[in-house]
Amino acid sequence: MKRIIAQYFIVAAISLLVSCSSIQEKPSIRSDPRPIVKPDVGYSVHALYSQYHEWQGVRYQRGGMSQRGIDCSGFVHVTFKSKFGKHLPRTTYMQSQLGREVRKTELRPGDLVFFRTGPASRHVGIYLEKNKFLHASERNGVMISRLDHVYWKSNYWKSVRI
């Protein structure tokens, strides 16, 4: 019995350490729901805004993969599958291993942006345009945030182009 309880606490502690996390902030909004991919300039910003409008405010749920609740890596996974027909891994760690790293100054729509949000926690979002990215926030659900927000700027880790 003690072993089962100890295992439960270890699993709970690990899930807290590796989960996505964020702070509360006001979402920034822009809309233009045109579809899919422009060649050589990344993924369509219009498709990404369309995804935002379909998912805006969906609550955060660790491990969630539906409009009843979703986490940051699940949202990236679902977005790439539904909007671009691309299958990405389910976890933030595995997503961070994809593609090639790009500088923050070279970001294009559809690039993944990663943040270190704790000693062992990571967060992922999808770059939109003009210093904005789309993600699933623990406090606000699916939202748009700015990379130059003090929290995101100080926790920025890297960007990856798929």
Active site residues: 72, 123, 135
Instruction: Give the angle 98-100-104 at the CA atoms, nearest 5°.
Output: 115
Residue 42 Rama label (left phi>0; alpha psi -120 to 50; beta): left
Helical pair 72-84 and 45-55, crossing angle rounded to 10 deg: 120
What six digits make up the tokens of 162?
Answer: 């798929």
Backbone angles phi, psi at 62, to 5 degrees: -55, 125
